[in-house]
Amino acid sequence: MSFQDKYKEYKERQEAKKYFRSNNDQFLDNAQWSKVIAIGLLTAIGAGVVLGIVIHSLHITSSLFYVICAIVVSSAITKISQIHSSQMAILSVILTAFCYVVGEMTMIYLPLHEMGISFQFVSFIDIFSMSVRSLIVGDLFTTIVALIGLFIAYASAK
């Protein structure tokens, strides 16, 4: 097979792939991806703040709260994209993990706010690094529950 034939075959495969993706609803274009990511990010931030406020006010870390957040984020992503696929499941896991980090950040910031300490003395990056560290290394129960929530987010979006 000559180079011309290989190049022609490559071009035909690329055209077939482009045609398949344009006529298949399992693939999103850039505008749809940005819409799904933006709404999913807003949902993750909102659910994380609510998670942090509820856990801080009740002083209870329940697995039900983390599971509900995982289901809320994954259902928001699948309802906006109207696709259940592995790409949506991976995006759901990433945004659910971000939701948990935002929840930890809220739980760290609320006592500081109650004491009158503002962002002048504590930086956003410090709170972010403390929340990631707290989520991964802090409490074993919280880490296990967060992992279970991530598995649930993956399963419900796939």
Task: Indicate whether 80 pLDDT > 60.
Answer: yes
d(CA 32, CA 24): 14
Answer whether 104's CB lies under 8 Å from 66's CB. no
d(CA 134, CA 137): 5
pLDDT confidence tier of residue 67, bands split at 50, 70 and 90: very high
Single pTM value for the model: 0.78
Q: So what's the pLDDT on residue 23?
A: 55
d(CA 125, CA 133): 12
pLDDT per residue as tens digits for the range 13-63? 888 776 665 555 566 677 888 898 999 999 999 999 999 999 888 888 788
Q: So what's the pLDDT on residue 49?
A: 93
pLDDT per residue as tens digits for the range 89-144? 999 999 999 999 999 989 888 877 777 776 666 777 888 888 888 888 878 888 89
Read off the pLDDT of each residue in 76-81 and give the average, rounded to a whole number: 90
Buried b (16+ CB within 10 A) or exposed e, 116-144: eeeeeeeeeeebeebbbebbeeeeeebee
Task: Indicate whether 4 pLDDT > 70.
Answer: yes
Q: So what's the pLDDT on residue 100?
A: 94
Q: So what's the pLDDT on residue 76?
A: 92
Question: At how many degrees (to 10) do helices 63-81 and 30-58 cross?
Answer: 160
Give the pair of three-digit tokens for residue 129. 């690094």
Q: So what's the pLDDT on residue 56?
A: 87
